[in-house]
Amino acid sequence: MISNKPKPKKLSLDELVFGALSQLQVLNYNERSIRRYQSTWNRLITFAKKNGYKKQLCEKLILEFLEYHDVHPNLPTSAYKDWRRHAEFSLKILWNYARFGYFERCKIVLDKLNIPPAMQKNLYEYKKYCEEKRYLSPGTVRECFSQISLFLDFMGKRNIKTFYQIQPKDISDFICSLSRYSQRTISGIASYLRMYLKFLVYRGYLKNDLSQSVPSITVPYQAKIPSVWDRELIVKLLDAVDRSSPRGKRDYAILLLACRLGLRLGDIREISLDNIDWEAEMISITQGKTKAPLCLPLTNEVGNALIDYIKYARPQIKYRQVFLRLTQPFTPLSTNNHFYTIVKYWRGVAGIQFRSQQHKGLHSLRHSLATYLLEDNTPFSMIADILGHASMNTTMIYAKTSVETLRQVALTIKEVNHGN
């Protein structure tokens, strides 16, 4: 994710380090970590002064500093490797702070992609347009930015420097290069690309509307059957979580919100302390996907897990989001975090094996709850309310996952009389 925050003014190296150290304190890094960063940055300042560098940070300074410290005679090999890794990471953080004015984890590093400078500048412009004019959610903007970056990288590798050089065949070839992905994924990328190409015409970067050259990818409606866990596997997963550790306390609460309440992963990630009414025993949120309000009962099992995490494992800092990172900085979970590693880790601890290939992430736990409710003869309307579906048609998808439900509506095969 690249932020649209204004870039800071050019700071001297001393001012830059002072600001970066202040930012580490704001992000609740402990004193030992801050001292390690400060040690590396102070060495950089000393090196810059000795070698006649200007007061500001530059890439050449960083590279020469690392080259100068390519060996460290006063440290054993293992200790030096550890110092070197931390030094490189420290300088990367300082470099990002110099560029953006804050620390940020970037999933896609544009410097590593072959995007022509003019196109890269336009990409930032499009991102801002999506945020401020189309009002797309941060997650959608990030995904769109990611896919368009790869499209422009594909163009750059073809030595295409300007938008006017793009031909319909280039677009078709890009879509063909995505053949390793599912139809649904390719369809989504194609949709992002059409939006972007229309934007280029709207802003005058293109004369011809090349969005019509993007192949149409047909995805049959409700073609997929949601992945469902066997009930005993859910029990096995939850029993495997070590609830004596901070990680276990947090992850157990997250898993219960998916398994017992069926919350979407984005809503779990964003759930706030203000969304929990302990006296009324309710959780009330505004759903990220539909923007509709959703109120669910706070069961004893879920409530106790949340209390155990909040009271005994959650860092006591200013953020209102319930779930925070386990390591410094103790910030809310990134929107890139889809909780897959959480499910995968405890699935491994539990030794869970599936009978056939299926989705195994957090969202599949939501699918499983819907199927269990259906098998327990819960009305579709009630399941839709629990899952926060805007349309009953969405809930009907789960009828395909329940063998018993399908058996009840199976048609009797009439005897066929072939005649004589």
Residues labelled as active-site residues = 264, 289, 363, 366, 389, 398
CB 197 within 8 A of CB 209: yes
CB 245 within 8 A of CB 220: no
CA 188 to chain centre: 16
CA 271 to chain centre: 16
Beta-carbon contacts of residue 334 (< 8 Å; ≥ 6 apart): 105
Distances from the Cα of 389 to the Cα of 226, 261, 304, 380, 394, angstroms: 15, 13, 27, 11, 7
CB 229 within 8 A of CB 364: yes
From 251, 403, 243, select the one nearest 326 (Cα to Cα): 251
Beta-carbon contacts of residue 35 (< 8 Å; ≥ 6 apart): none
Output the CA angle 332-337-341, nearest 5 degrees.
Answer: 120
CA 320 to chain centre: 19
d(CA 200, CA 180): 28
Beta-carbon contacts of residue 131 (< 8 Å; ≥ 6 apart): 4, 141
d(CA 304, CA 301): 5
